[in-house]
Amino acid sequence: MKPINVFMYVVAVSAAAFTLKAAPSISGNSIAITQDAASRVVQVSYSLANGPAIVTAEFLTNGVSIGRASSQNVWGDVNRIVRGSSCQFKWSPLKAWPNQQVDAGNFSVRLTAWAMDASPDYMVVDLTAPRTAARDTVSFYQSENLLPFETTNIIYKTSHLLLRKIPAAGVRWMMGGVSSEFSYSAGYETQHYVTLTNDYYMPIYPITQGQYAWFKREQRSCEFAGDDRPVDTISYQNLRGSAGSGYDWPNDGHAVAPDSVLGVLAEYTNLEGFDLPTDAEWEYACRAGCPTAYYDGTTLPVNVYNPPTLTNLAWTANNANSMTHPVGLKLPNAFGLYDMLGNVWEWVLDYAANDTSETERVAPTGVASGTGRFVRGGCWTQDGRNNRIAAHLALGPTANNAGNKAGTVGFRPVLPADFK
């Protein structure tokens, strides 16, 4: 590459680290930016200290971010886990800005080095990549406006996984339903305080048939076919493996069978820890700080089957026309998660059990045995009573349909937000 300019205005920062190890950092003096006169490709070189780290970048003109164009057509040591010390990445502005010649006096880059246990808010997995190259297709972005595409883009519904970090560690919150809500169940919904101990990533959509086909390398047989529709017919055992074979949560921890759906997803991405959420993790993510029956602040008074606002949040028996629908067509919650209510039930780890205790819990794992597991969030066959945040349904581990209705059970995995 023949440099034509060196851009001197650079900002380098480090994300907070919650370990005794020195925080990763990037020296501003180490950063050099050049642009090739012919190809217009911009190259950024920098030095990383105290790695490995997740390094993200944001380009600015006149001190103002250019937004998601910063993350398009970028390759090299950026927006991913960086393990070396002498690093570089390239950016081609041509697709975003045709014939763009950047101005040395007004162009700059902001680099951020994130500790491995203090990662950015968004993670994207490119499911179309060959399995041997999957590590290079796991990317991180510090904010929604720096994602390569808007969250509603079809690629995040079919060929890529877009995961949002759920800031749960150390937050004390109230789990369970309000006893005045229609169809309240004391056995499954008694309110109690919970504190989770770790942040975790969760896909903003339930896993779709298109995503499943990419990482599993097979088409899932579903009741309602469509690449952007959720997987709608799948069992707990199919997702994790048989409890009798050493995959019994919570007794065997997060171990999943290598040939299970979650085992294949972990192997494909080369990221350990993919599993179903616990019952508490699912509800915390669904509530997103909202204490009422639905995450828009609406409650469900006695004898009201479907509050009018629910149609804006979920596909239910009242509006789904007896089928699932493409993900992401209803309003998200405050964490930016779509379809947490309605469309399809979602499996969680916990054994199904009655629990009327109001005892406060820390990172609860549920009981150690039972005959069924919980699914959460309701589905297209249910009215507003079972599409409440607190609603639970118990299914056997080999079941893949709820209430003798085909096409009602899907899943949304989580991943610990700690890449050490």
Beta strands 345-351; 373-376: pairing state: antiparallel
> SS3 for 189?
helix
pTM of the model: 0.93
The pLDDT value recorded for residue 150 is 97
99 and 47 in contact (C-beta within 8 Å)?
no
Residue 331: count other Cβ atoms within 10 Å of its Cβ: 12
Within the chain, which residues score under 50 in pLDDT? 1-12, 14, 16-19
Among the listed residues 114, 104, 118, the one whose alpha carbon sits nearest the alpha carbon of residue 26: 114
Tokens encoding 76? 């090299």
The pLDDT value recorded for residue 135 is 56
The pLDDT value recorded for residue 15 is 54
Tokens encoding 352? 């199904």
Residue 203: count other Cβ atoms within 10 Å of its Cβ: 23
Write out the E strands in 298-391.
Answer: 345-351, 361-362, 373-376
69 and 147 in contact (C-beta within 8 Å)?
no
Cα 34 to Cα 43: distance, rounded to the nearest angstrom: 5
DSSP state letter for 146: G
As assigned by CATH, the class of the 10-121 domain is mainly beta
Rounded to the nearest 5°, which phi and psi values hold at 239?
Answer: -75, -40
Q: Where in the chain is the domain with CATH 2.60.40?
A: 10-121
Q: Where in the chain is the domain with CATH 3.90.1580.10?
A: 168-416
**Cα torsion for 385, 389, 395, 401, to the nearest 10°?**
70
The pLDDT value recorded for residue 100 is 80
Cα 310 to Cα 319: distance, rounded to the nearest angstrom: 10
Among the listed residues 338, 328, 352, the one whose alpha carbon sits nearest the alpha carbon of residue 236: 352
Strand partners, 345: 409
Angle CA(180)–CA(182)–CA(188) in degrees, nearest 5?
Answer: 80
Cα 360 to Cα 379: distance, rounded to the nearest angstrom: 29
The pLDDT value recorded for residue 368 is 96
The pLDDT value recorded for residue 2 is 37
Cα 235 to Cα 111: distance, rounded to the nearest angstrom: 43
Among the listed residues 134, 156, 158, the one whose alpha carbon sits nearest the alpha carbon of residue 231: 158
With respect to CATH, is domain 168-416 assigned 3.40.190.10? Answer: no
Cα 419 to Cα 238: distance, rounded to the nearest angstrom: 26
The pLDDT value recorded for residue 98 is 72
Residue 310: count other Cβ atoms within 10 Å of its Cβ: 26
Cα 277 to Cα 279: distance, rounded to the nearest angstrom: 6
Cα 48 to Cα 30: distance, rounded to the nearest angstrom: 9
Q: Report how far Cα 103 is from the mean position of its chain's Cα atoms.
A: 37
49 and 24 in contact (C-beta within 8 Å)?
yes
Cα 87 to Cα 76: distance, rounded to the nearest angstrom: 8
Tokens encoding 337? 């998660």
Long-range contacts, stretch 244-253, CB < 8 angstroms, 24+ apart: 249/276, 249/349, 249/350, 249/351, 249/365, 249/366, 250/349, 250/365, 250/366, 250/368, 251/368
